[in-house]
Amino acid sequence: MGFVSNLKIRANTLFEYILINHRWVIVVFFLLPLSFIYDIYYNTRSWLIFKLIRQIPMCTARPGWQTISFRVPAYKSTFNKIKINLVDILEIDTRKQTVRCEPLVTMGQLTKVLVDLGWTIPIVPEMDDLTVGGLVMGTGIETSSHKYGLFQHICTAFELVLADGSLITCNKDEHANLFYSVPWSYGTLGFLTAVEIKIMPAQRMISTFLSESRKESENDYVEGIMFTYNAGVVMTGNMCNSVEEGKLNEIGKWYKPWFFKHVESYLKAGRGVEYIPIRDYYHRHTRSIFWELQDIIPFGNNLLFRLLLGWLVPPKVSFLKRTQGQKVKELYENNHFIQDMLVPADQLKNALDVFEKEVKIYPMWLCPFKLPADPGMLRPLDGKCSLFVDIGTYGVPKVDNFHPVETTRRVEKFVRNAKGFQMLYADTYMTVHEFREMFNHTLYDKIRKELQCTKAFPEVYDKICRKARI
Ligand X SMILES: CC(C)=CCC[C@@H](C)[C@H]1CC[C@H]2C3=C(CC[C@]12C)[C@@]1(C)CC[C@H](O)C[C@@H]1CC3
Footprint on this chain of ligand X (rule: CB under 6 A): 68, 70, 126, 141, 289-290, 292, 317, 320-321, 324, 328, 332, 338, 340, 392, 394, 423, 425
- Quick one: which segment of 131-139, 215-223, 230-238, 345-353 binds ligand NDP (CB under 6 A)? 131-139
Residue closer to ligand NDP by CB (options 356, 377) is: 377
Residue 290 interacts with which of ligand NDP, ligand X, none, CB < 5 to 8 Å by class:
ligand X
- Quick one: which segment of 63-71, 233-241, 292-300, 302-310 binds ligand NDP (CB under 6 A)? 63-71
Residue 320 interacts with which of ligand X, ligand NDP, none, CB < 5 to 8 Å by class:
ligand X
Beta-carbon count within 10 A of 235 CB: 22
Closest by Cα among 244, 258, 311, 308 to 286: 258
Closest by Cα among 238, 226, 342 to 281: 238
Binding mask 90-129 for ligand NDP (x = CB under 6 A): -------------x---------------------xxx--
Cα–Cα distance, 326 to 305 (Å, whole number): 29
Residue closer to ligand X by CB (options 84, 426) is: 426
Cα–Cα distance, 337 to 348 (Å, whole number): 19
Asked if residue 363 has a cis previous peptide bond (ω within 30° of 0), the answer is yes
Please check whether residue 407 is in contact with residue 188, taking contact to mean a CB–CB distance below 8 angstroms.
Answer: no
In the complex, the smallest distance separating the C-beta of residue 340 from ligand X, rounded to whole angstroms, is 4
Residues in the chain: 470
- What residue number has its CB nearest to ligand NDP? 134
In the complex, the smallest distance separating the C-beta of residue 158 from ligand NDP, rounded to whole angstroms, is 9
In the complex, the smallest distance separating the C-beta of residue 29 from ligand NDP, rounded to whole angstroms, is 50
Is 68 one of the binding residues for ligand NDP (CB under 6 A)?
yes
Cα–Cα distance, 192 to 206 (Å, whole number): 33
- 148: enclosing H helix or E strand: helix 145-148
Residue closer to ligand NDP by CB (options 135, 234) is: 135
Please check whether residue 61 is in contact with residue 329, taking contact to mean a CB–CB distance below 8 angstroms.
Answer: no
Please check whether residue 128 is in contact with residue 106, taking contact to mean a CB–CB distance below 8 angstroms.
Answer: yes
Print burial letters for 131-153: b (CB count within 10 Å at least 16), e (below 16).
Answer: bbbbbbbbbbbbbbbbbbbbbbb
Considering CB under 6 A, how many residues would be counted as binding ligand NDP? Answer: 31
| 3-state helix/strand/coil string of 63-89 | CHHHCCCCCCEHHHHCCEEECCCCCCE
In the complex, the smallest distance separating the C-beta of residue 37 from ligand X, rounded to whole angstroms, is 50
Residue 324 interacts with which of ligand NDP, ligand X, none, CB < 5 to 8 Å by class:
ligand X
Residue type, 447: I
- Quick one: which segment of 130-138, 273-281, 331-339, 350-358 binds ligand NDP (CB under 6 A)? 130-138
**What crossing angle do the helices spanning 348-358 and 404-417 adopt, rounded to 10°?**
170
Is 402 one of the binding residues for ligand NDP (CB under 6 A)?
no
Closest by Cα among 284, 218, 216, 291 to 251: 284
In the complex, the smallest distance separating the C-beta of residue 33 from ligand NDP, rounded to whole angstroms, is 43
Binding mask 200-219 for ligand NDP (x = CB under 6 A): --------------------
In the complex, the smallest distance separating the C-beta of residue 307 from ligand X, rounded to whole angstroms, is 24
Residue closer to ligand X by CB (options 260, 457) is: 260
Residue 130 interacts with which of ligand NDP, ligand X, none, CB < 5 to 8 Å by class:
ligand NDP
Please check whether residue 369 is in contact with residue 141, taking contact to mean a CB–CB distance below 8 angstroms.
Answer: yes
Contacts to ligand NDP by CB under 6 A? 59-60, 62, 67-69, 73, 84, 103, 125-127, 130-131, 133-135, 137-142, 186-187, 191-192, 423-425, 463
